[in-house]
Amino acid sequence: DAGVTQSPTHLIKTRGQHVTLRCSPISGHKSVSWYQQVLGQGPQFIFQYYEKEERGRGNFPDRFSARQFPNYSSELNVNALLLGDSALYLCASSPGTSGGADTQYFGPGTRLTVL
Amino acid sequence: GIQVEQSPPDLILQEGANSTLRCNFSDSVNNLQWFHQNPWGQLINLFYIPSGTKQNGRLSATTVATERYSLLYISSSQTTDSGVYFCATSGGYQKVTFGIGTKLQVIP
């Protein structure tokens, strides 16, 4: 079975632009979470979606938004990019059926550079 | 939210040595995982261990939920064990909090 996939692998944008990152979960998983990892730090929780509904949101500005599609894939959108948005963006999938006590499986990430 | 502390932040080992990594968390949790992040950024699942003890080859983990800590043991370390080890946990629906990680370097 394929693992979690993310696209693109790398991305370079300039300040003020918009970016869309994509994630496909493991087959059968209904929950997708997004994380931002800045160099030298642990991943920070951005969003979690289950069955197309937002289940959780971290401390990120409204420039960050996400959605989940009927096939459980997900998009993360970031508007008005800032230099500080440069990071590795990680997507994780989980079955989503254990009341929060699920194992999360991570994709390879999208490395975003904002110039 | 839940606070997660990992120690030590950095660790250098001679190949073949054993080590213990610690994760303390501030509240009761229903989900605790250990990950290894390789140099390319991929987070690899090591253990899902909200309580109890598990072993997988040279690695084992123990979580004592009542005392709010988890330990990751690495025995007979190899250079391929190098990387960053993260503990991550949540108390509710998947708002997972990661520690800052332990950066491990195993030298030949």
Ordered by start, the domain boundaries in chain A are 5-114
- Give the pLDDT band of residue B48 (cuts 50, 70, 90): very high
Q: Would the pLDDT of A98 be above 80?
A: no
Mean pLDDT to the nearest integer, A6-22:
97
Q: Would the pLDDT of A107 be above 90?
A: yes
Looking at chain A, the whole-number percentage of residues with pLDDT higher than 90 is 81
**CATH number of the domain that residue B45 is part of:** 2.60.40.10
pLDDT number for residue B46 = 95
Domain limits for position B49: 4-107
Q: What is the mean pLDDT of chain A?
A: 93
pLDDT number for residue B92 = 63
Say how many domains are in chain B.
1
- Distance between CA atoms of residues B7 and B35, nearest Å: 14
CATH of A5-114, one of 2.60.40.10, 3.40.1010.10, 3.40.30.10, 3.40.50.10490: 2.60.40.10
pLDDT number for residue B80 = 93
Q: Would the pLDDT of B86 be above 80?
A: yes
Mean pLDDT to the nearest integer, A62-72:
96
Query: Which of B2, B23, B47, B94 would you mutate first to test chain A, the one with the most A CBs within 10 A?
Result: B94
Q: What is the 3-state secondary structure (H, E, C) of chain B?
A: CCCEEEECCEEEEECCCCEEEEEEECCCCCEEEEEEECCCCCEEEEEECCCEEEEECCEEEEEEHHHCEEEEEECCCCHHHCEEEEEEEECCCCCCEECCCEEEEEEC
- Give the pLDDT band of residue A103 (cuts 50, 70, 90): confident
Please name the member of B50, B91, B94 whose beta carbon is closest to the beta carbon of A94: B94
